[in-house]
A and B are shown apart, each in its own frame.
Chain A
Amino acid sequence: MKSCVLLMKLPCTEGESWRIGEAIRAKGDSLFLLGDAVAICRKEYRGHAASIVSSVLSKGAKVNASARDLRARGIEASELPEGVKVIEDIEGDFIDVTMDQADRVIAW
């Protein structure tokens, strides 16, 4: 079963959303970061659930961050860990995974 998770807010502002990392279990799963959620993929992020991205990457799953939302928050590609994919048309990629690849989709 392939899982796709879309996270749009920082875990520190959205209560239990840190648990979404548990939905990503295997290679082939995907985490998409939009809006404020892009900040959790900064290497220096020390907020709540700071380990989500490293945990997801260690499982071989994909982490995709919105280039538009990173720019809006002044976050440079050099601030991101290796393995995070920065995507201009992230909604297009998200739709491809959601409609054609994922068995389970969670948007938070």
Chain B
Amino acid sequence: MVEKKTLTIMLASAPLGSQYADHMCRVALRALEKGHEVEIFLYGDAVHAQMNHQSPKLFFPVGEKLKELVVKGAKVYSCEICSVARGYISGQLTPDGKKDYSSTKVLDGIQFTTIFGFVESLARADKVLSFGGG
């Protein structure tokens, strides 16, 4: 029985353009299967991994794997500003004072936050990994 720890992961590269998203999904999945908590933060072009209805017939199915990660207990956070910039959400304030994160373009289970939310995730983490970017 392993001691349950928290792994925080930043993905900073888009799916399909490189294998960083593929590697991240596989590593995160094994961490969950070994009993650890996993928190993932999609940043920059990596927010494209949250796109609904991806159909990469010949490539690693990042969207399907993200859905599987959510179902298995991973918390998947997406950068709000990066997502607004790429047209996934409006992020506008609603009449009740909350931000509008509704979208038909985004996989179920994705949560939106800012870079400050990522800092909070870092504070909860026992270990941190980053994939891509640069």
Contacts and interface: CB of A to CB of B under 8 A. Distances in A.
Nearest to B10: A107
Contacts of A49: none
Interface string B15-33: 0001110110011011101
Contacts of B36: 95, 99
Contacts of A96: 34
A80 interface: no
Interface string A13-39: 011000000000000000000111000
Chain A interface extent, by class: 20 to 34
Interface extent on B, as a size class? 20 to 34
Contacts of A8: 19-20, 23, 131
Interface string B100-126: 000000000000000000000000001
Does more than half of chain A's interface fall in helix, strand or loop, or is it mixed?
helix
B93 interface: no
A75 interface: no
B23 A105 contact: no
A100 B2 contact: yes
Contact of A34 (B3, B23, B31, B34): B23
B127 A98 contact: yes
Nearest to A94: B27
A53 B35 CA distance: 32
Contacts of A74: none
B13 to A, nearest CB: 10
A6 B126 CA distance: 17
Nearest to A72: B19
Interface of B: 2-3, 5, 7, 18-20, 22-23, 26-27, 29-31, 33-34, 36, 126-131, 134
Interface of A: 6, 8-9, 14-15, 34-36, 89, 91-92, 94-96, 98-100, 102, 105, 107
